[in-house]
Structure 1
Amino acid sequence: MAMDLTDELDRHMRTLLPKLKLIPDEARAFTMSMDDAIRGYRFTRELLERLLAYGLPAAGGPDGPRMDDLDLRNVALRLGFGPVALAARRFWAASLNQSGGQARTYEIFYHATCPTPGHGSVCRYRFALPGGGHVDCEIPADGGASYKTTFSLDTEWPLLPSESRHILEVMEGLEFMYLPGPLKTDLDFIRRTGLSDCRGTTEFLVREGRRHGVPVRPSFGFIVAPPYSSRHNWAEFLVGDRWVPIDPVLIRLMVDMGLLDARDWPGFRSPGTMLVRIGDGPTWIVAHEGDPVPAEVRTRRLRRD
């Protein structure tokens, strides 16, 4: 993918780099070589050299500068590279902008492979299901494990009442940023820097809601965006008898990317039309013999209403 490396790059990096530098170097893992970044993010060597010249954090390595994968992911998202930026442009925004009408029905297809071939004739898998719960399967050990299930997502969600909206005021200055593990739920860091990923945003909202006596719960599940669903965390507010998904930082990111209109998408509007809950917090999607394993999660829409 080619891009203009002048005005647009300068604009993004002048804004992004001071924020990246709020993340301490000791929290970084300088493991990405130039070749890794080219393969993983479709960056050109010229672009990477420009990023380093701007001051992208890096450390010396045997084959040249080494960069942090999360730094590269943050840059890629702002510049429109990589799978998350692609999904946001092609699928997330379309799903949110088409809210309303009948519920949408989807099929999720899980696929995983045995991490220890030869351990026996049968593999025992457990698959976490949309809506909560799980299913157990015994599958011959000579192949991969696959499972599919269907679910529906509501496209009509109530707005938060005014007595709950004030909780979101503490989120107004937060900006989405991929963060290293120790900083994801460090609320002091989040307050001090204004940077937060989905886990930190969720914990922040839940803590503020409970502090003000507003029923809020954490949620973990998928952003449903065919052809793949991605793992995500968000908060849910109880409105009447419904738990309503709320994610003001995700909405603000999409507004900043020019994918949603800020007039139509205030932070208190629910993105629930593309979120399916699995449980309270980050968990395994597929387990093999009781241990989590990597899994591919493909998704398709079954019916267009």
Structure 2
Amino acid sequence: MSTVEDPTQVVMSRLREVPDAYRRFAAGAPEARRVFGIGADLLAQLIDLGLPHQRRGGELRLDAFDLENISTGLRLRSPQAMTMRQWKHALASRRRPGGADCLVTVEWRCPAPGHRDGCDFALSDLFTPVSRIDEKHEPARGSVVLQAEPSDHAIRFGAEFHPVLAAAARLTFYKLPPQLSNDLSFVRRTGLANCRLACQHLLDTAAAAGVNARPAAGLFLGALFPFRHIWIEVEVGGRWVAADPFFLETLRRWGVVDRPDWPADQSPRGILWRLLNASSIDEPFVTHRGCEASVSVSARWVPQAG
């Protein structure tokens, strides 16, 4: 007789794989409820099951990565869950964005308003030589509209890619502290990975299978508010093609996409915009006199002219 695992126990078993040394106990119970949807009763249950925590001055302190992984793993009602529902609608309408252009708006503002000297903003070279459609500059803020160039290859990978697909299917997305984001021994032992760690693991898998692959970094455009993302590219017929089986499988498990519409063995079309030839995208998008400026990024699809 098959048994159904208790989701709470599954979440807690994954959480125990992360050493306490990597935790920062900076979040409180109000944040757990407001941001991650973890109410008082569930929080008490999790603490009884061994959720790492501290008490300072009588206040409960928790790790934000733990809270986010619990919220995602238990599919709790939270702002994050609302964002995923927005992804679902956006991706359903953008399954094939042919005949439309993607315009990305980067807006910034001064990180220290009120200083005596004038502001001096600089847009990252990551966006060079991307076409600029519109720019606005004000004393303490500004914006630029960029013509995005998302990957749009109609490629389904062959049998040689199957080891990479199998490796991606064995992984579980997990929000990791920075100290574990490059630890290949951790992912091999636990099967838990964020996009950065999964990319490294799948590159190793591809190399072992004789598949020519490289890292890619840029923006995920399948949402109103794009975010930084890392994936792999595979050489097919002399050209580099985006492949992201780990993220597509993760979105399927979260109920955001359906496999027939977004198969993991196919290059995702119109949602990944490569910005640089490296496996990292940590550089600030906009700087203000050498310091990172406050930035927001949004995207919209518009019909092509003519």
Q: TM-score range by the shorter chain?
A: 0.7 to 0.9
Structure 2 residue matching 1:254: 3-state secondary structure: helix
Instruction: Give the equivalent residue in structure 2 for 1:177.
Output: 174
Q: Summarize the Cα distance change of 1:71–1:278 in structure 2 as closer, same or farther, 3 Å threshold.
A: same
Secondary structure of residue in 2 paired with 1:238? strand
Letter of the 1:293 counterpart: A
- Label 1:104 to 1:86 Cα distance change in 2 as closer, same or farther (>3 A): farther
| Structure 2 unmatched runs, 5+ | none
**Stretch of structure 1 that moved more, 23-32 or 290-299:** 290-299
Report the AA paired with residue 30 of structure 2: D
Letter in 2 for 1:302: V
Partners of 2:136 and 2:260 lie apart in 1 by 51
1:59 aligns with 2:54: yes
* Cα distance change on mapping 1:243 and 1:249 into 2, 3 Å: same
Q: Could you say which residue in structure 2 is the equivalent of 1:120?
A: 117
* TM-fit CA distance, 1:184: 0.7
User: Normalization by structure 2: what TM-score?
Assistant: 0.83
SS in 1 for 2:120: strand
Q: Find 1:107's aligned residue among 103, 107, 119.
A: 103
| Aligned-residue identity in percent | 25
Shift, 1:114, TM fit: 1.8
Q: By how many angstroms is 1:26 displaced?
A: 0.8
Q: How far apart are residue 165 of structure 1 and its match?
A: 2.9
Instruction: State the partner residue of 1:3.
Output: none
Q: Give unmatched runs, 5+ long, in structure 1.
A: 1-7
Q: How far 1:37 sits from its partner (Å)?
A: 2.1
Pairing of 1:104-183 with structure 2 (within 5 A): 104-117=100-113, 118=115, 120-127=117-124, 139=137, 142-153=139-150, 157-183=154-180
* Aligned-partner SS, 1:182: helix
- Counterparts in 2 of 1:170 and 1:240: CA distance versus 1, 3 Å: same
Q: CA deviation at 1:134?
A: 9.3
Which secondary structure state, in structure 2, belongs to the residue aligned with residue 105 of structure 1? Answer: strand
Tell whether the 8 Å contact from 1:206 to 1:218 is kept in structure 2 after alignment. yes
CA distance in 1, matches of 2:241, 2:233: 5
Question: Do the aligned partners of 1:89 and 1:259 also contact (CA within 8 Å) in 2?
Answer: yes
Q: Is the partner of 2:242 in helix, strand or coil? A: strand
1:258 aligned to which of 255, 272, 283: 255
Contact 1:123 1:138 in 2 (8 A): no
Deviates more, 1:27-36 or 1:214-223: 214-223
Equivalent residue in structure 1 for 2:189, among 192, 207, 227: 192
Cα distance change on mapping 1:42 and 1:84 into 2, 3 Å: closer
What SS does structure 2 have at the residue aligned with 1:273? coil
CA, structure 1 residues 130+139, in 2 after alignment: closer, same or farther (shift >3 Å)? closer
2:291 is the alignment partner of 1:297 = no
Structural RMSD (CA):
3.1
2:163–2:209 CA contact under 8 A, matched in 1: no
Which one of 35, 40, 45 corresponds to residue 40 of structure 1? 35
**What's the secondary structure of 1:189's corresponding residue?**
helix
Amino acid at match of 1:299: A
